[in-house]
Amino acid sequence: MPENEKLNSEEVHTEGISKGQFKRSTHPRYDWLDQFRGMVIVFLVIASLTWELASENFAITPPLGPTWLNHGWEYYDQQPVIITIIDLGSQIFMFMLGISLSLSFKSKVEKKGLHFAWLTVLHRVFSFFWISQVISVDFDFPIFKVIALVIWVLITVGAAVLRNLRKFKDNIYRPLFGVVWALSSIGLWCVQARIPKVLGSGYFWSAFFLEAPAHLAWGTLFAAVFVFLIKKPDFRIIIAIIIYLGHFIMWEFKPIINASIQAFWSQWDIPFDMLAMGAIAITATCIWDWMQMDPNDQIIGFKKRVIPIMLITGLLHFIVDFFQTAEHHGINLSLGLLAIAFSCLLVIVFFSLEFFYKYKIPPLTHIGRNALFLFLFQGIFTLTYPEIWGDALAFRTQMASLFGVAELTHPLVDLMGLIAFLVPMLIMYLVAWLMDRYHIYIKV
Amino acid sequence: MNDPPIKINETHKQFHSLHPRYRWLDQLRGVIVFFLLIAFLTWQFSSTLGLGLPFGVPPLGPTWMNHGFKYSNSNPPIITVIDMGSSLFMFVLGISSAISFNSKSKKIGLWYAWVSGISRFFALLWVNQVTKIFYRILPDWKLTRFDVICILSWIFITTLTIILRITLFKKSNEKILLMLGWSVLSVIIWFPTVEENIWTIFFNETLAYLAWASLFAVFFLTLVKNPDRRILASFGLFAIHIGLWELAKTKLTHPTHWFFEVLPGTPLDVVGIPFNIINMTAIAISATCVSDWLLKSYPTQLDGIKKRILPYWVFILCFHFVVDFLQPARHDGITASLAALSIFFAIFFLIMFYAWDTYFDAKMPFLTPLGRNALLMFLLQGIYLFFYGFFWFNAYDFRRRFPGLLGNAIGLGLFFVPIALLICIAWVLDRFKIYLKF
């Protein structure tokens, strides 16, 4: 490649973004990363829908939507389950968060200091723990829960107002409001879940170790700690390898180790997913740093590290899978390696799309810019759809009777299935577009 | 960024080719051959879970590298990248066909390009016959007298062709006619030894799909020069397929047997709608368009990628998503949904390997030699399938003999040895510039 065409990481790739649009960000905004985020969110939405409209009995009715866009185990439950791209969703999301963390942490340390960077990390970590509590909430409203929720609303409004006061806008302690808000939210959510329940049962394990957002929280924390402690990615990657080696060995002796743990804490297990997500996030931070190996030419990093890492993890996945078959429930080494290999592949493809081909997949940037919000927003559909249709059979039966047809696989029924998928996706896109239009970005 | 120079490792004369050899295309071919090899192995050691048998055991190898229908006993079965193997191969063949056809017709003439295309068609049909005979005679190694006569005749014709090719026709363009004669005669000579009916040999096997689709690709390349218009033929075929499939669905449980209902008890009752040929042709035509957009239609390759290939890539995924609701992707009959998904993945790999080669100057080790002899490697894999079949029929057979950790380790070895051996063969052939091409 000619000298003048080298890819400089300092060139901010924010084509088409108005001045000041991301003025709160301390680092440049990368379009390829937004596109990558957007794609993951689209897949997550589809995954929620194929989940809700899956088939419970194939002899009676097929599910709705493309088969390969289902969770393997939800599509057909057997041992071992088949793995699809959808099963890798949260791991790829973790990988993306790892990349973003490495990018923003260093930039914040450089521009606003170490404590600012750490406060933002803690804000994100505690927010994920709070989200983890939110998604496992019971929908009943006794008086103490209502009081807790009202207090939470007041705290949230207060924190939002304080954060946006001109006085604090450029203050380096601004993220402190976020940390306090997230901690208060966690506390209040423990209250609404009833303190005795929190202390006496598996609530703590579930909210802080078992749920997907809790994994994201731990992964983020792991990534930040090791980005801070080990500057060189060539050394940092060793931590990920050690975690995975430990994971591999413990997985082999799972029953014995779990029995020992449960002798003390009955509801607890080895936190396999937390460890695996930590390793994925650390690897992602390394990938980002390797991409900056030569700040004047990012291709060097791709050639020397990113592509080889992709090939090695792909090969290792193939080998390890013979011994520890990839599973959706419990991110084992095989699944983790596959997720890393696939994420690297997507990074390469999206990077190429932006830098070499100068091409953007139309709606992805808008979605990617509010990835976290839309990740949560799609929960609306996962909550509402089951209230209307329990599964594919319920949907097909209702639609067949609506059109007065006997066949559950009648083209009209299939067409309604398509609409049931397209409507939420269009709403999501509309929300994303509007938020992007008015520069509203929800970030933690 | 300007259009970077195309990387061609060695001069194309070394590959006995009229056109340049693209490294990204060899890598693309290589990865598809690699996936096909994995598919052969996972097929041999697949689980019986998908068959609904009571003695289900886990398969050998990663679950996502199995055929979906062998994995889940569901209707529709789940689709994996392995289910798209032959469709992806068709796409690559379509790209190669376009490159070679354009080059031959420009440098020598249209007649030469056409004769070459027809030779390939007959050669693929002949290979299909050979595989049938191979499976018939190998279990007990018994050849009838008639088989021996046919094989000896074929050896005589082949030897004569080779001698003529390297002597009288060495520097003559008419040597392509010699190849055509050889391929036609091969089909004629081997035909009586095949037990299967005409439909199975010429219309209902993977190699037959490849043969027909390659021929139609050449036909449409001649007929519609502009890829922007030619792509409409691809969508026309998809529309025809969708319509026929929908009609067939209401007639019978298995759509490819539609004509069984129409003409039962007649000699034509072996004939069905060539569903797979229709969609394989649609894939091949799409591939020729992608090839022309990239290499021919625009002043720079980047223009072609940006203005046509990438928009088409996004569009074809959306098309798959929509059509899949009405006609789910299936392995046993290439529906429009499966064909569209295959085109999507093929372009995904194409843009990836193109970027690797052109911008990152990187390549996956071993893929280039595999890709340069893609067709031979594709055929060689069948040998493993056959020999492994002597020992184990499926994962259950294997795991009964080799349970536990030892079984996993031996299983890994059974996957690695054929892969390594195939890579060695490909490397040696590439080292000595031996390429099997039609």
Distance from CA of A360 to the nearest CA of B (A): 9
**Same domain, yes or no, for B12 and B101?**
no
Asked if residue B112 and residue B2 are part of one domain, the reply reads no
Digit-coded pLDDT (tens) for B393-405: 778 888 888 888 8
Q: In B194-252, where does DSSP find H-type helix? A: 198-203, 206-223, 227-251
Same domain, B111 and B34: no
- pLDDT reported for residue B308: 96
Tell me the nearest-neighbour CA distance from B393 into chain A, angstroms: 19
Tokens of A297: 């030419």
Position A297: which residue type? D
For every residue of B127-141, DSSP letters joined together read HHHHHHHHHHHTTTT
Answer whether residue B243 is part of any domain: yes
Residue B250 shares a structural domain with residue B270: yes
B268 phi and psi angles, rounded to 5 deg: -85, 5
DSSP codes of every residue in B264-276: TTSGGGG----HH
Whether chain A has a CB inside 8 Å of the CB on B310: the answer is yes
Chain A and chain B share a number of CB contacts under 8 A equal to 155
Those residues of chain A that have pLDDT short of 70 are 1-28, 139, 194-201, 444
Output the six-digit token pair for B324. Answer: 């899949």
Q: What is the pLDDT of residue A2?
A: 43
Give A-chain residues touching B347 at CB under 8 angstroms: none
CA distances from A325 to A81, A339, B69 (A): 9, 14, 19
**B35 in the same domain as B60:** yes
Q: What is the residue range of A443's domain?
A: 15-82+358-444
User: Does A322 reside within a domain?
Assistant: no
Q: What are phi and psi of A267, to 5 degrees?
A: -95, 5
Q: Which residue has the tokens 């080298």?
A: A6
**Are A84 and B305 a contacting pair at CB < 8 A?**
no
pLDDT for the residue A207: 84
Which pLDDT value is given to residue A52?
A: 87
**A372 CA: distance to closest CA in chain B (Å):** 24
Closest alpha carbon to B328 in A265, A86, A70 = A70
Rounded mean pLDDT, B379-386: 75
Distance set, CA B235 to CA A115, A260, A408, B370 (Å)? 59, 62, 28, 32
Q: How confident is the model at residue B428 (pLDDT cuts 50, 70, 90)?
A: very high
CA distance A241 to B382: 38
Q: What is the ipTM of this complex?
A: 0.88
* Same domain flag for B334 and B218: yes
Number of compact structural domains in chain B? 2
Closest Cα of chain A to B130: distance in Å? 33
Check whether residue B315 and residue B380 sit in a common domain: no
Between residues A223 and B49, the one the model is more confident about: A223
**Closest CB to A361 among B79, B306, B314:** B314
pLDDT 10s digits, B298-321: 999 999 999 999 999 999 999 999
Flag whether pLDDT at B157 surpasses 90. yes
Cα–Cα distance between B380 and B425 in angstroms, integer? 10
Nearest partner of B275 among B232, B308, B314, B243, judged by Cα: B243
pLDDT digits (tens, 9 = 90+) for B89-116: 999 999 999 999 999 999 899 999 999 9
pLDDT of residue A16: 39
Indicate whether A151 belongs to any domain: no
How far apart (Å, rounded) are the C-alpha atoms in residues A290 and A232? Answer: 9
Verify that B211 and B345 share a domain, yes or no: yes
For residue B104, give how far its alpha carbon lies from the nearest alpha carbon of chain A (Å).
30
* Residue B175 placed within a domain: no
Q: Helix or strand or coil: residue A332? A: coil
Q: B47: domain range?
A: 1-78+366-438
Quote the number of domains for chain A.
1
pLDDT tens digits, A138-195: 767 777 778 888 888 898 888 888 877 777 777 777 788 889 999 999 988 887 776 6
Same domain membership, residue B100 and residue B241: yes
Tell me how close the Cα of A121 comes to any Cα of chain B, in angstroms.
34
Q: Is A303's CB within 8 Å of B409's CB? A: no
The predicted pLDDT at position A429 comes to: 94
* Residue A263 belongs to a domain: no
Which residues in chain A have their CB less than 8 angstroms from residue B348's CB?
349
**Given an 8 Å threshold on Cβ–Cβ distance, is B412 in contact with A421?**
no
> pLDDT tens digits, residue range B254-299?
545 555 445 566 666 667 788 899 999 999 999 999 999 999 999 9
| Nearest-by-CA chain B residue for A407 | B250
Q: Is B409 on the interface with A (CB under 8 A)?
A: yes
Are residue B106 and residue B42 in the same domain, yes or no? no
Q: Are residues B211 and B331 in the same domain?
A: yes
Average pLDDT over residues B192-209: 84
Instruction: In whole angstroms, give the CA distance from residue A341 to residue A314.
Output: 5
Q: Would you put residue B415 in left (φ > 0), alpha (ψ -120 to 50) or beta?
A: alpha
Task: Give the gap in angstroms from C-alpha A176 to the nearest C-alpha of chain B.
Answer: 43
Q: Quick check: B185 pLDDT over 60? A: yes
Average pLDDT, chain B: 86
The reply to whether B407 touches chain A by the CB within 8 Å rule is: no
Helix axes A254-262, A233-252, angle to 10 degrees: 80
Residues B298 and A206: their CA atoms lie apart, in Å, by: 57
The C-alpha atoms of residue A72 and residue A86 are separated, in whole angstroms, by 8
B166 within domain boundaries: no
Q: Between B66, B360, B411, which is nearest A303 by CB?
A: B360
In a domain, B164, yes or no: no
pLDDT of residue A229: 96
> In this structure, is residue A66 part of a structural domain?
yes
Residue B360's closest CA among A433, A425, A416, A298? Answer: A298
CA dist B153 and A380 (Å) reads 72
Chosen domain end from B364, B399, B422? B364
Encoded amino acid at B6, one letter = I
Q: Please give the full DSSP string across A409-426, using - where no structure is assigned.
A: T-HHHHHHHHHHHHHHHH
Q: Which residue of B has its CA nearest to A63?
A: B76
What residues of chain A lie within 8 A of the CB of B24, using their CB?
none
Cβ separation B412–A81 shorter than 8 A: no
> Would residue A411 count as lying in a domain?
yes
Q: Which of A3, A45, A68, A405 is most worth mutating to test chain B (most B CB atoms within 10 A of its CB)?
A: A68
Q: Chain A within 8 Å of B52 (Cβ-Cβ)?
A: no
Of B364, B381, B402, which closes a domain? B364
- Structural domain includes residue A183: no
Contact list in A for residue B337 (CB cut-off 8 A) is 66
Using CA atoms, how far residue A438 sits from A18, A27, A434, in Å, is 11, 20, 6
Q: Is residue B191 part of a domain?
A: no
User: Which residues, 6 or more positions from B146, have their beta carbon under 8 angstroms from its beta carbon?
Assistant: B192, B193
Contact: A307, B246; criterion CB under 8 Å: no
Residue A366 lies in a domain: yes
pLDDT for residue B187: 93
Q: Are B38 and B106 members of one domain?
A: no
Does B351 sit within 8 Å of A349, measured CB to CB? Answer: yes
Does residue A373 sit within a domain?
Answer: yes
Token pair 């049931």 is found at: A420
* Among B331, B364, B397, residue at a domain's last position: B364
What per-residue confidence (pLDDT) applies to B365? 83
